[in-house]
A = this chain, B = another copy of it.
Amino acid sequence: MVLIPEVSKLSRSAFRRLGMTPPKTPDAPPARLSLISRHLAPVYPINTPYAVERLPSTVDTSLLPRIQVREITTTTPKMSQPAHPTLLIPGPIEFDDAVLQSMSHFSESHVSAGFVATFGETLSMLRKLFQTTDPASQPFVLSGSGTLGWDLVAANLIEVGEDVLVLGTGYFSDGFADCLRVYGANVTELKAPVGTKPTLPEIEKALSEKKYKAITVTHVDTSTGVLSELKNLSALVHKVSPDTLIIVDGVCSVACEEIDFDAWGLDGVVTASQKAIGCPAGLSISMFSGRAMKAFENRKSPPSAYFASMKNWTPIMQNYEAKKPSYFATPSPQLVHALHTALSQILAKPVAERFAGHKAASDKIKAAIGALGLKQVAANPDEQAHGMTAIYLPEGVKGAELLPILAKKGVVFAGGIHKEIVTKYIRFGHMGVSVLDPTRGDIERAVKALEEGLAELGYTKS
């Protein structure tokens, strides 16, 4: 059962502020309450995008409308997913029914109290997922692809001509470097051979040669399945270059790999909704440290983007989290509802259990792949992601032939994307419900399909 934090308290206190008696609410909210979400929150402030604190001081705010009351209904829409091939690419992943159902939420104003509460709770839940209790940490949820997170970093934390060290692990670290250059950063890429990552001594050497404003690391490079270790990396950076901001691309790691934001001293983690978080694509999700926000505030020049500007979004995010309506650009209520549902599900258990679940599944998958005589792009077991596996095709087997066979068996894998090896490997994503809901049998089916598919193409383990 998914519980909404303090929803009844919220509306009761709102009633009290009005000097009214709060309506009787059920003692136990019905299951899937979050799917109908704010339907049980009978009170909301008015639909004006102007938060009071953004109004010019000349306006008499006592004249602004404050509260609207709407009818309560508890009708829950019904849905079930039609049969479809299981999507086991490294994002988007398979989504839970309840999450998809939240995508169909009826239309709501982006500044209604119901939606403001949903958005505010979503931001607060992100703090738990990222394991940060520092009130100076700042979450952002913006409409956009995960890529928008790179712009958020590049346009707000870096000024023209500042040096950034990019740890090169593949296609996605290259992309981050490209984005940083667009906004004027002076990028140094420390590249590792395909399937590996830069070593700590190499990074220490690079950090000692130049003073970097920031270092970026792709926690899991989706092009190779290489996992970068963050804890020791962060400790190293804090030791040898304490002023350098530590920025993590967590698109393929948040919610399946451990990220201990405060304890590890991270300054920024950017991610997307459609991977291990398990919410449809369309949201850029990020967390920045107080130190990163301070670096932003201390910029000499204004931010170099508009939609991706922290100047525009920070007060809005803070207002939403404080349950105050606020407006810069219209968010997507449906996607935010789906994210709220996904995060409620994730946080119903300790996050450590979630990470352990992904690791256990990954270990099984990697053992099965090894047993089939296949090699991974990430050769070193310490450098293997737990939410995906990049698998080299055996000699003589073409992805062009294997993947359609897998699809016929109801399992969709992804082809290669790293340009040096693009035709030589396939990618198997194992995140979210496919891994954590054992009743689905997705992983077993995928491994069996892979084994049978290879056999059909004449492959035998040598």
- Write the residues of chain A forming the contact surface with B, with a CB cutoff of 8 angstroms: 36, 39, 46-50, 55-56, 59-71, 73-85, 87, 89, 91-95, 100-101, 103-110, 112, 142-148, 150-151, 154-155, 178-179, 182-183, 272, 274, 280-282, 302-309, 327-335, 398-404, 406-408, 410, 412-417, 419, 422-423
A423 touches B64 (CB 8 A): yes
Residues of B within 8 A of A151 (CB): 305-308
**A46 and B77 contacting across the interface, CB-CB below 8 Å:** no
How close is A406's CB to chain B, nearest CB, in angstroms? 8
The residues of B that contact A77 with a CB separation of less than 8 Å are: 79-82
Chain B residues lying within 8 Å of A146, measured Cβ to Cβ, are 329-330
Q: Which residues of B contact A142 (CB under 8 A)?
A: 144-145
* Inter-chain contacts of A419 with B (CB < 8 A): 50, 55-56, 59
Given the interface contacts A82-B106, A95-B107, does A67 sit within 8 Å of B404 by beta carbon? yes
Known contacts: A69-B407, A143-B143, A330-B145. The answer to whether A78 contacts B75 by CB under 8 A is no
- The residues of B that contact A335 with a CB separation of less than 8 Å are 280, 282, 332, 335
Say how far A119's CB is from chain B's closest CB, in angstroms: 12
A415 touching B48, Cβ below 8 Å: yes
CB distance from A289 to the nearest CB of B (A): 22
28 A-B residue pairs with CB within 8 Å: A39-B82, A47-B413, A48-B414, A48-B415, A59-B419, A59-B423, A68-B403, A68-B404, A70-B85, A73-B83, A74-B82, A75-B83, A78-B78, A84-B107, A87-B107, A89-B109, A92-B109, A92-B110, A95-B107, A107-B280, A143-B281, A144-B148, A151-B306, A183-B306, A281-B331, A305-B305, A305-B308, A307-B308
When distances are taken between beta carbons in the complex, the residues of chain B under 8 Å from A66 are 400, 404
Cβ B399 vs Cβ A65 within 8 A: yes
Nearest chain B CB to A276's CB is how many angstroms away? 13
Q: Given B46, B182, B413, which contacts A302 in the complex, CB threshold below 8 Å?
A: B182
Could you tell me if A73 and B65 are in contact, using CB atoms closer than 8 angstroms? no
Which chain B residue has the least Cβ–Cβ distance from A402? B65
Residues of B within 8 A of A48 (CB): 414-417, 422
Q: Nearest Cβ distance between residue A392 and chain B, in whole angstroms?
A: 13
**Copies of this chain assembled into the complex:** 2
On whether A182 and B281 interact (CB within 8 A), knowing A59-B422, A85-B70, the answer reads: no
Chain B residues near A74: list those with CB within 8 A.
Answer: 82
Which residues of B are found within 8 Å of A403, using beta-carbon distances? 46-47, 65, 68
A151 to chain B: closest residue by CB: B307
Q: With A305-B151, A333-B280 in contact, is A417–B50 under 8 Å at CB?
A: yes
Given A70-B410, A182-B304, A274-B332, 7 more pairs with CB closer than 8 A: A50-B415, A55-B422, A65-B399, A68-B404, A143-B148, A145-B330, A150-B307
Q: With CB as the reference atom, state the residue of chain B lying closest to A115.
A: B92
Q: Which residue of B lies closest to A97 (CB)?
A: B104
A143's partner among B95, B282, B402 (CB-CB below 8 A) is B282
Interface centre among A146, A402, A415 (most CB of B within 10 A): A415
Contact of A306 among B70, B179, B309 (CB under 8 A): B179
Please determine whether B89 and A70 come into contact, CB atoms closer than 8 angstroms. no
Q: Give Cα A109–Cα B85 distance, bound, in whole angstroms.
A: 10
Q: Which residues in B have their C-beta under 8 angstroms from that of A89?
A: 47, 109
Query: With A65-B399, A75-B83, A79-B77 known to touch, is A306 a contact of B414 (CB < 8 Å)?
Result: no
A401 vs B69: C-alpha distance when bound (angstroms): 12
**CB <8 Å contact, A106 and B110:** no
List residues of chain B with CB within 8 A of the CB of A64.
399-400, 415, 422-423
Q: Can you name the residue of chain B whose Cβ is closest to the Cβ of A414? A: B47
Q: Which residue of B lies closest to A83 (CB)?
A: B73
A100 CB → nearest B CB, Å: 4
* Bound-complex Cα distance A14 to B111 (A): 46
* Given A48-B417, A70-B407, A404-B46, A306-B147 contact (CB < 8 Å): yes
CB-CB under 8 A for A423 and B63, given A333-B92, A334-B280, A403-B47: yes
Q: Is the CB of A107 within 8 A of B82?
A: no
Determine the distance from Cα of A401 to Cα of B46 in the docked complex, in whole angstroms.
Answer: 10
Given A59-B419, A70-B407, A303-B182, A412-B334 contact (CB < 8 Å): no
